[in-house]
Amino acid sequence: MEHTTLSHHLLLAGLLFALGLTGVLVRRNLLVVYMCLELMLAATTLAMVAFSRFAHKMDGAVFVFFVITVAAAEVAVGLALIVALYRRRGTIQSDALNTLRD
Amino acid sequence: MSPDFSSLVHWILFLPLGAALLIALFLRRAGAVAAWLSTGVAFAIAALALRLLTAAPGDTRWHVELAKLGDISLGFGYLLDANARLMLFVVSFVAAWIHLFSIGYMRDDDARGRFFGGLSIFMFSILGIVVADNLLMTFVFWELVGFSSYMLIAHYFDKDYAAAASKKAFIVNRVGDLGFILGLAFCLAHFGTLQFEALAALKPAAGWPWLLGALLMCGFLGKSAQFPLHVWLTDAMAGPTPVSALIHAATMVAAGVYFMARIAFLLTPDVLQIVAVSGAGMAALAGLCALAQTDIKKSLAYSTLAHLGIMGCALGLGRPDLAVLHMAMHAFFKATLFLGAGSVIHGCHHEQDMLKMGGLARKMPVTTAAFVAATLSNCAVPFLAGWYSKDAILEAAHAQNHYLFALLGLAAVATCLYSARMVRLVFFGPANSEAADHAHESPWTMTAPLVVLGLGFSVAAGFAADALIPAAALARVAEPLRAMAFHATSAATLVGLAALALGALAFRYYGRTAGVDSLRADLPRFYGVLEFRWMDTLYGWYVDRVQRRMAEFLAFLDLLLINGVAVRWLAAGVPAVLGYLTGRTLHRGQTRLYALSLVAGTLLLAWYFLAR
Amino acid sequence: MDPLDFLHANLAAVAVYVPLVAGLVLLAGRRLPAGFASGFAFAGFAFPLILGLWLVAPGTGPKAGFAQLTSVGAPWGFDFGLNGLSAPLFLMTAVVGLAAGIKALGQEVERRNTYLGLLLFMFGGTLGTFGTTSVLGAYFFHEFALIPTFLLTLFWGGAGRRPAAMQMAIYLTVGAMVSLAGLLLVLGAAKTGYTSTWSELLNTLDLRVVPAAAVGLTLFGFGVLASLFPFHSWAAPGYTAAPTPASMLHAGALKKFGLYGIILVTLNTLGGAHGALADWFLVCALANVVLVGLICLAQRDLKELLSWSSVAHMGPIFLGLWVTGVTGRPDGVAAALFLMVAHGLSCAALFLLANGVRARAGTYRLDELGGLAKQAPVLAACFVAATMASIGLPGFGNFWGEMGVFLALRDQSLWLQAAVASTVVISAVYALRAVAATFYGEPTAALSQRLAVAPVADLGWAERAAALLLLGASLLIGFKPGLVTAQTQDYCRDIAKNVAETLPAAAPAPSAR
């Protein structure tokens, strides 16, 4: 197999991103939606690393560390919110959470 | 030019400010100390001014630049020419005696600290106008004079009329100042300087623009209470009587005349014509109006208006020297009249209605003597102070313009009539009220100024000028004085004598009935016309009917158009309507739908940018 | 670097961060004992003034000019430093902040520590706005100071605080966004990068390449912040509803950021490349003077009147800026800057004292007030002094500013001058009417009943100190205007030079007369 190119990486990232996006759009369980969101984030991270690797610059790789850090914090907060939501409302189905509509 | 004299001027100018500051910070409750401090300072200034006058160092100049705002230089400096030195002396001398009088008059007032602090601030302001060497500095002190008179008129602030009168005085003065400001800007724009001497040296080839003089004249109209901005002066009687003496006799109103004399070189014939006509007209009318006032102070206020008109007329005739001379003489006798009125009011336990007085000659002999002497001077009895200046002005009018002369003659007659009426009603005949019956002579602090100013200066300031006012100061004044070598055949003197004769008749006429105004009884309609306050009514109508309604209308428009239509309706209303229409279809509260539209939008944008 | 110089170079930054840190401590320590919190907060309020005075005092600071004070490379996040434009505003903010702080310390409020902490944040942010040399830094600090302003209005405000706070928040946020857009456009055109300082920007920017959109956006964006007609609707209700210290700080100091921005960004190309905008600016500014002045006449509530009049007093400032923008002469901007400083002091003093009136009479309504001068002579005297300052009585700083603007307009048409100068009459009418209605005459029936139950005390020492601080500062610059102009003069000349370069050749050159 020949050497992997930037396109390979980007294709993989794009696939992952599309997968995540589909999940976000079609699933109703917030927990799953959240996992799909993380998948999208991972896809972009992958793209960034790839760019960094092929451009021979460290900027992207460094930026990824920031993203990971922020993502970790975000997961903590997000999961806590979902748990709190479940405790209060008894459901985490996104269609049921529509009281802000009016 | 020696620095010695400029430091003297520093002392003269800043002593009263220091006194006012001390009083404001530490002596608010120590009224007696404040009173004597302020009075002491006033006398010290008078002494310094006398020293400046007698030492006659030639013109004193001193200038410093306070700051530079862009290209505009904010200057502060002194220019003491002969006029200024004379004015400085007259103002500080008269004011010092008024201070002394106030000590007696205000003895029972709780707010003496505030009162004397106000007097000192007033001194600071008025002296600043006298010594200023540029238009901007004049304007600075001009405004301060307006403020201090506001403060002093509002002394009895718990009375609604005093509150209203102080407000009116300040606002009317500001209307005049509006013109002054425009004049300042105009002067700077066209001549690049605001210094009096630099301006005087310019002598523009095309002549001075009339607009400049006309704009600066507006300030004079306000401060010197000339028609149509005269309305504040009569109301200003709401202040304590010494304030009336200080403001309406010696100083504030005189500031306008002095200022006009200082910029006389700027005034073009058109402007002078206006000043002369309005001055002479006001002199005659105000003199007649004084006949229809029962309040002694209001009557005197109209008398002041009449004299201001005469001064204005002198300015308009191109004789600023005569205007300043009359201002000085008027300061002496009108201060005496006001102080005498104050003494009477004090003696009668704050009764101001002349019809309720009467018979005070026996109870208050010193006051009566001084008042009568000043009245005679006011009526221009030959060889008394008032005669010298007034007769000279009549003479000048006669030489130039017979209409003006006729108006001034009418003013002279009116002066004699109201003076006779006043003296008759107040001092002679039976006492018309219990207060007048129990009147008593005032303490020495009040009678001493009356004697000095009334029996001394009102009588003798003219023929004994050489003795009373040091000769060296008379460089400018002496010339008209000497020219007055009594020519009995002149028209002016004849008119003056005729007026005096009419005055004597009036004295008898007003003696007919006690407690009732004879003129009102005989000619009620005429009296009513004189009593009615035409301009005040007009301004009142304007403020109530035009200005207030317009302000409320604008406030309503602002609320309706800008706050209501533009902000609430356009900026908030349109999105709200759109939101209502779309809300039914789009806002379903389904997160997935929102996410879908987000993705769709992103894709659309991406397509737009990539496909270009 | 000499240690002392290093110290000086960082003092401005310290002055900004001291109140911020103090505010942070108070926000964190909600349960701190009141006495400790007061002392801590007072230090936060007072320290910047001491540092500011130290910085501009001749003899102590570096004498070669303010450029030296810039703390380039210091670990403060932004660069700080004072120059001829920002130093007077910085000091004025410090004075107003201290007075507002003294007032706030004397108030009895719920959740006091949080209240003081937010006020300190607001104060520090305002100081930072003028203290930083960075373009975006100034913007950042302004936004930073606005947030506590909204919160203070929303939770501690008076009647009608919710709609007022919302309106203010929406208006100011929109104004800030619009001006940010313009600012970014200018920075983009400048090629100095987004971390540029004001002086880099002004020295390197080729003013002819600034797009018209940037000028318009900054003019009206900053105009909203400074309540330019017709974007003024937020100001009156906002100030009326906000708690007094917040009104003082915002109307006195923070609002001046809008004008500061106009001077630094908009003015350069106002009259030159984009002349039509100058005409619009003139019309709006005139409306500020005349229309808003007349609206003031219709007010029946003391605090509303003050709020409106603070909008009206922006008019002469705008006009001063406008005239420099179209003529390229320094007079207008110098006078406007003077007026900005003086107005900050007098306006804060008026809000402070008006609250003193309310605390005693229980109302702001003019027809229910009256006769208070008998009961509270010192309050009355201070209020009269502050009123006189605001209507431009000589002796107070406002006079030089207003007069300077009038004189700067000297080459314009007489009608324009008359319209602008009419403010001396209009403002006297409404201000003196308010004084008379509040303090003179007899108390109204309702008020005398209240006074019979609860006789009022005169101004307490704290309020007295705050009022005297503000009035004293105004008197100081009134008697010695050189104190301000010595700092601003060169800077204003430079600005005017920048402006003059972009003006079309036909425009009148700087006066040679």
- Least confident stretch, B16-20, C25-29, C204-208, C293-297: C204-208
Residue entry with tokens 């020419």: B81
pLDDT value at position C37? 84
pLDDT value at position B155? 84
* A100: nearest CA partner in chain B: B589
Mutate one of C429, C471, C477, C480 to test the B interface: name it (highest B CB count within 10 A): C429
The fraction of chain C above a pLDDT of 90, given in percent, is 16
* B189: nearest CA partner in chain C: C410
DSSP string across B190-230: HHS--BHHHHHHH--TT---HHHHHHHHHHHHHHTT-TTST
pLDDT value at position A17? 94
The residue length of chain C stands at 513
A12 has pLDDT over 90: yes
Q: Is the peptide bond before C230 cis (omega within 30 degrees of 0)?
A: yes
Q: Which residues of B188-205 are buried (b: 16+ CB within 10 A; e: fewer)?
A: bbbbebbbbbebeeeeee
Choice between B431 and C37, residue whose per-residue pLDDT is larger: C37
Kindly report the backbone phi and psi dihedral angles of residue B13, in degrees, each rounded to the nearest multiple of 5, phi listed first.
Answer: -75, -40
The fraction of chain C above a pLDDT of 70, given in percent, is 91
The overall average pLDDT reported for chain C is 83
Q: What's the count of helices (H) and strands (E) in chain C, helices before strands? A: 24, 0
At C430, the amino acid letter reads Y
The fraction of chain B above a pLDDT of 70, given in percent, is 86
Residue B587: CB atoms within 10 Å: 16
Residue B468: CB atoms within 10 Å: 15
Choice between B51 and B137, residue whose per-residue pLDDT is larger: B137
The kind and range of the H/E element at B407 are helix B402-427
Alpha-carbon distance of C408 to C421, in angstroms, equals 12
The CA-to-CA distance between both ends of chain C, in Å, stands at: 47
Mutate one of A81, A91, A98, A100 to test the B interface: name it (highest B CB count within 10 A): A98
Residue C469: CB atoms within 10 Å: 20
B545 has a chain C CB within 8 A of its CB:
no
**CA atoms in the 13 A half-sphere facing the CB of C484:** 34
Tens of pLDDT, residue by residue over A57-100, are 888 888 899 889 999 999 999 999 999 988 988 888 877 777 66
Task: Find the angle CA(C98)-CA(C320)-CA(C84) to the nearest 5 degrees.
Answer: 50
B567 has a chain A CB within 8 A of its CB:
no
Tens of pLDDT, residue by residue over B261-302, are 888 888 888 888 888 888 888 888 888 888 778 888 888 888
Tens of pLDDT, residue by residue over C106-153, are 888 888 888 898 999 999 999 989 888 888 888 889 988 999 998 898
Model confidence band, residue C64 (pLDDT cutoffs 50, 70, 90) = very low
> Shortest CB distance from C338 goes to which of B69, B181, B567?
B69
Tens of pLDDT, residue by residue over A26-36, are 888 888 998 99
For C134-187, the three-class secondary structure string (H helix, E strand, C coil) is EHHHHHHHHHHHHHHHHHHHHHHCCCCHHHHHHHHHHHHHHHHHHHHHHHHHHH
- Least confident stretch, B85-94, B100-109, C34-43, C441-450: C441-450
pLDDT value at position C387? 92
Are residues C97 and C19 in contact, defined by beta-carbon separation less than 8 angstroms? yes
Inter-chain residue contact B174 with C425, CB threshold 8 Å: yes
B7 has pLDDT over 70: yes
Residues of B in contact with C418 (CB under 8 A): 178, 182
Put simply, whether the predicted model's pTM sits higher than 0.90 gets the answer no
0.85 surpassed by complex ipTM: yes
C68 has pLDDT over 80: no
Choice between B458 and A6, residue whose per-residue pLDDT is larger: A6
pLDDT value at position B19? 86
Are residues B295 and B237 in contact, defined by beta-carbon separation less than 8 angstroms? yes
For B26-70, the three-class secondary structure string (H helix, E strand, C coil) is HCCCCHHHHHHHHHHHHHHHHHHHHHHHHHCCCCEEEEEEEEEEC
B475 has pLDDT over 50: no
Tens of pLDDT, residue by residue over C424-482, are 888 888 888 888 888 888 877 777 777 777 777 777 888 888 999 999 999 999 888 88
pLDDT value at position C63? 38
Choice between B507 and C343, residue whose per-residue pLDDT is larger: C343
pLDDT value at position B473? 44
B178 has pLDDT over 70: yes
Sign of CA dihedral C469, C472, C477, C483: negative
pLDDT value at position C87? 85
Nearest to B152 by CA among B248, B225, B230, B42: B248
Kindly report the backbone phi and psi dihedral angles of residue B78, in degrees, each rounded to the nearest multiple of 5, phi listed first.
Answer: -115, 145
* C331: nearest CA partner in chain B: B70
pLDDT value at position B515? 63
Nearest to B454 by CA among B364, B366, B323, B352: B366
Are residues C206 and C186 in contact, defined by beta-carbon separation less than 8 angstroms? no
**CA atoms in the 13 A half-sphere facing the CB of C416:** 23
**Segment C212-231 mean pLDDT:** 85
Instruction: For chain A, positions 61-100, list CB contacts with chain B under 8 A.
Output: 94-95, 97-100
Residue entry with tokens 């700087």: C510
Alpha-carbon distance of C427 to C290, in angstroms, equals 10
Alpha-carbon distance of B399 to C279, in angstroms, equals 54
At B175, the amino acid letter reads V
Which residues fall within 8 angstroms of residue B577, CB to CB, at 6 or more apart? Answer: none
Tens of pLDDT, residue by residue over C362-411, are 888 888 887 777 788 888 889 999 999 999 888 898 999 999 999 998 88
C232 has pLDDT over 60: yes
> Two tokens at C271?
């009259």
Alpha-carbon distance of A38 to C184, in angstroms, equals 33
